[in-house]
Structure 1
Amino acid sequence: MVKTEAQFIPSNNNASFELRGDLTLSTVPALWRVVRKTEWANAQIDASGIVRCDGAGAALLFELVQRGAQLQHIPEQSQRLLQALNPEQALLPSAGKKRVNAISQLGLNTFNTLADFKLQISFLGAIAQAIADTLRQPKTFRIRDFLQQCELVGANAVPIVALISILLGVILAFQSAIPMRQFGAELYVANLLGLSLIRELGPLITAILLAGRTGAAFAAEIGTMKVNEEVNALVTFGFDPMRFLVLPRLMAGVLMAPLLTLFAEVVGLFGGALVMKGFGIPFATFWSQVSTQVDLVDLFTGLSKAAIFGFIVASVGCLRGLNTGNGASAVGAATTQAVVQTLVLLVIADGLFAVVAYHMGW
């Protein structure tokens, strides 16, 4: 569009001046010098010749009004912009929050839950497709990324897992030994501790630690990539985000969770053995009691549960990261949602696993 230079022209009619042309950011600087050097009190300006006007032009018109000029025949667009600069103009009240009744809120929550469930099913299908494609083309699997994620998920989590596990073993052994000592049965604390750690508490506590540490990290990392358009860049360059981002993290979570669980169980039993040593039970007796109570089925059950928990932690973290919205707050919301949903799914999966193990006689 051709720009028309704005200018003041002495008028031949009743107005003192005629203002013509475009009042835009690129044209009004020259007019400001004229406005400041001229006496505008009671001057009449015919503004019908204004072609275009933006915020800078509206500021110039407002300055003319403040200096006493009387503007006539202002175009409608310029009039709206000038009116917006009027300090006496009342601000438009913000729209109040629309109230939603209980039935509508229930329907909305149900719809969101079903949509989220559909999203999770689709994500599981995408994971299965990525695994199948990788099996057909093993060379496409990113070994370096997988090993790096194994280090982040497994090796870097060893200190916190060790600390929590030994404290858990010490507390369980001490709290159990005191009441059982009244009946002379403190020896059987080893049986209780071994069975509870290997079948239940070891996998669950490790999974909760991974949810707060690894699942949140996956969601935040991939969510930040989503906000910065890095995921879209990968798609543009022909990389599948499922195989490039999700699969290495998923495999690392499934592999490292049983190993961390096994480490947590050993450390927890060691902490319990230290406490029982204080109650006069030697290490050899403690480990003998544990070995008589716990068999390979219990160990396999706990490790299988840990692998499933690792899958849940990694998959939920990656899913929430890939579905992050826009803005920095969206990353925090995705991370929070990943941790909360992971904890809920862990409890549900643990309950289902207990029911299945009971009916299978494990």
Structure 2
Amino acid sequence: MPSPAEPAASPAREAFSAQTREGRLHLRFSGPLERDVAARLWEEAHRARGATTAVTIDAGEVTALDSGGAALLASLAGSEAEWIEPRDAMARGSLERFRNGLGMVKAREAPPRKFRPISALGAYTLGRYEKFLERAAFMGETVLTALSLLPRPWRLRWSEVLRHLDEAGTRAFPLCILLGTLIGVILAFQSSVPMRQFGAEIFIPQLVGISLTRELGPLLAGVILAGRTGSAYAAELGTMRVNEEVDALKTMGLDPTAWLVVPRILASTLVMPALSMVMNITGLIGMGIVMATLGYPPVAVLNQLGQWLSIGDLAGGLGKGAFFGLAIGYVGCRAGLSAGRGPRAVGDAATGAVVGGIVALVLLDGLFAVLFFRLGW
């Protein structure tokens, strides 16, 4: 035993050396090789190793080793280095566990991308076919539910119908009045430019009146309904789906189509003729203001409208409007109930409702144009 006069043995200090012997690089470590020591020696050790392939890692004098030191030794060793294992049992066990862990972790190779146009086309076709089946199923379910409510109308939630009539119709009147007046003014001014060249400004009321009642009135009212009400339907039903309220209705034995879909579609169908009528009246008023600025009295404008406009023109436009409202309500409800579960589900549903509603609006308008032409109406 050391005498009290002898100084105590100093703790082992870390050391690193790099020597080349017989064409082989020896990297020697001694003392404790833990995280802080490995951090200090990392750049120096890698600089000494360089690109040499014949390397011997001498860790025989390492007295303490943790994951940081084992990571330094493993990064220096590569796949072909020779090892001199630590003589310390705990350090040797730490190094062995670290190397075994590295062997268990394998990089996942990305599968090779293959150009398969036929497979891609088939997948796209099948996806479109599944979407078509979903839409057909929703349409069939909606029609059957509506037919089942006809002999029992008391089962329909009339309070919901009135609420949606107010939201989709009454609250949309100011926007329809503004837009209708502006459209009438714009059409009258734009048509007056070519009409003036032929001295036919008196026929502006006929042009604007027929355009509004047969085409522009229902079409613009449908755009307003798709932007306001269709998106609102999709957002409301999409939120209920995300919050699992639709699933709760099914759990309670209630039909979501009868409770949520039919009242909204009925309200949008009933409100569209009223919106179209508001667009027509305000558009004609805006046209009358322009005609007054051109020097034509209201009596002359009314005479021209009475001479050329007929009840058939007005009825055709209002009938188209009812079908437009039916399509917009259906598209909005379908987009809401088919929404996903993610954070963007409600926004995507509202966007799909607006886009789908406008596309359906234009398609139906084209079909009615062909039908009216064939009927000579």
CA distance in 2, matches of 1:74, 1:135: 79
Give the superposition deviation at 1:346. 1.2
Give the superposition deviation at 1:111. 2.7
Q: Which residue of 2 aligns with 1:288?
A: 303
Letter in 1 for 2:285: F
Q: Which residue of 1 aligns with 2:316?
A: 301
Of 233, 252, 261, which aligns to 2:267?
A: 252
CA distance in 1, matches of 2:359, 2:206: 29
Uncovered stretches (5+) of structure 1, i.e. residues with no partner: 1-40, 45-60
Q: Which residue of 2 aligns with 1:168?
A: 183
Of 311, 327, 341, which aligns to 1:326?
A: 341
Verify the 8 A CA contact 1:206 1:260 in the aligned structure 2: yes
Give the superposition deviation at 1:205. 0.7
Structure 1 pair 188–234 and aligned structure 2 pair: CA distance change class (3 A): same
Letter in 2 for 1:210: L
Give the superposition deviation at 1:338. 1.8
Of 192, 195, 198, which aligns to 2:210?
A: 195
SS at match of 2:284: helix
Structure 1 pair 311–79 and aligned structure 2 pair: CA distance change class (3 A): farther
Q: Which residue of 2 aligns with 1:343?
A: 358
Verify the 8 A CA contact 2:67 2:94 in the aligned structure 1: no
SS at match of 1:238: coil
Aligned pair 1:135/2:112, yes or no? no
Structure 1 pair 91–124 and aligned structure 2 pair: CA distance change class (3 A): same
CA distance in 2, matches of 1:338, 1:99: 36
TM-score, normalised on structure 1? 0.75
Give the superposition deviation at 1:112. 2.9
CA distance in 2, matches of 1:138, 1:114: 35
- Listed one character per residue, the Cα deviations across residues 275-323 of structure 1 (whole Å, up to 9, x for unaligned) are 1110011112112211211111111100110000001110000001111
Letter in 2 for 1:357: F
Structure 1 pair 201–99 and aligned structure 2 pair: CA distance change class (3 A): farther
Structure 1 pair 135–184 and aligned structure 2 pair: CA distance change class (3 A): same
Identity of counterpart residues, as a percentage? 40
Aligned pair 1:152/2:167, yes or no? yes
Uncovered stretches (5+) of structure 2, i.e. residues with no partner: 1-61, 72-89
Aligned pair 1:230/2:238, yes or no? no
Structure 1 pair 63–138 and aligned structure 2 pair: CA distance change class (3 A): farther
Letter in 2 for 1:175: Q
Structure 1 pair 162–112 and aligned structure 2 pair: CA distance change class (3 A): farther
Letter in 2 for 1:302: G
CA distance in 1, matches of 2:151, 2:102: 68
Structure 1 pair 99–273 and aligned structure 2 pair: CA distance change class (3 A): farther
Q: Which residue of 1 aligns with 2:199?
A: 184
Verify the 8 A CA contact 1:42 1:70 in the aligned structure 2: no
Verify the 8 A CA contact 1:146 1:252 in the aligned structure 2: yes
CA distance in 2, matches of 1:253, 1:99: 49
Verify the 8 A CA contact 1:150 1:253 in the aligned structure 2: yes
Aligned length: 298
Structure 1 pair 65–73 and aligned structure 2 pair: CA distance change class (3 A): closer
Verify the 8 A CA contact 2:142 2:262 in the aligned structure 1: yes
Q: Which residue of 2 aligns with 1:213?
A: 228
CA distance in 1, matches of 2:99, 2:151: 68
TM-score, normalised on structure 2? 0.72
Give the superposition deviation at 1:65. 7.7
Which structure has the larger Rg?
2
Give the superposition deviation at 1:136. 2.9
Q: CA RMSD in A?
A: 2.9
SS at match of 2:266: helix
Give the superposition deviation at 1:91. 7.2
Aligned pair 1:268/2:303, yes or no? no
CA distance in 2, matches of 1:297, 1:216: 32
